[in-house]
Amino acid sequence: MRLGFIGLGAMGRPMAEHLLRGGHALSLWSRRPEAAAALVEAGAVACDAPAEVARRAEVVFTVVTTSADVAAVALGDAGLIHGFAPRSIHIDMSTIAPGMTRHIAARLAERDVAMLDAPVSGGATGARNATLAIMVGGAAETLARVRPLFDLLGKALVHVGGNGAGQVAKACNQMVMVAAIQACAEAMRLAAASGVDPARVRQALLGGSAGSRVLDVFGGRMVTRDFKAGVEARLHHKDFSILLEEAQRLGCPLPVAGQVGQQLNALMGCGWGHEDSASLQRVLEIAHV
């Protein structure tokens, strides 16, 4: 297929590589041309604007940071909407607000262009290993057309519902995961305050009902005090801003998520947004001091 890809960061670059290695023609646009250099060398074509990518592609993937970023790429003056032919597909794999997804999908539908929101879980490691979990919102018939492309990117895919449903599922994923990171931070803090080795406590917990991937990965970073970003905390902060705003709009009480959101606010206030979310442990340590 003729594909386009926009968003060549830690997640997007390996995903684009998988699509290119899958035998598809790939057109790219990047705000930083150097980010596309290796892919261009491997056979992709660099474009001057998102609209040019859309003109060259049947399906365009986007993996960018915020709702505003996706809106600008899709609907801006040189956006995808100005280049798409009828029956093209926009697959947005960013994590953004469900309402923005529905707005973009409606605008594209006016041009007979379909949209899927397909946020992922698995981080940069999952992107590199093509083991992402993909949560899809949009029409079933649109998903059927591009299912083989998703098979190149992930190991698990669930069609959640209509446009925006994928983003709702991702918000729920972030709630559960980051609340678990906060719980790990509190457990490690309690162990240390009690004079007990946090590493031994974590080892004990991993063998019981508290064992989880979050405790394994993020708890491990807390024990070794390795706060170099695996997942930048600013991204979890952004995701919580989205889900708490959505909850407020719906009148949906999320008491635990609200508390975790405050801890993320404190983390950002400490200047640790570009470090790992395991830094939630350090927020508790500052509170103790």
Please give the distance of CA 213 from its chain centroid, rounded to a whole number. Answer: 18
What is the distance between the alpha carbons of residues 135 and 117, in angstroms, rounded to a whole number? 8
Exactly one of 155, 170, 228, 238 is catalytic; name it. 170
Please give the distance of CA 210 from its chain centroid, rounded to a whole number. Answer: 25
Tokens standing for 264? 């993320």
CB 89 within 8 A of CB 58: yes
The closest of 61, 66, 139 to 97, measured between CA atoms, is: 66
> H or E element: which one contains 61?
strand 59-62
The closest of 219, 120, 136 to 173, measured between CA atoms, is: 120
Tokens standing for 204? 């004990």
Coil/strand/helix, residue 219? helix
CB 25 within 8 A of CB 82: no
Does residue 238 carry a catalytic annotation?
no
What's the one-letter identity of residue 45? V
Q: Which residues are catalytic?
A: 170
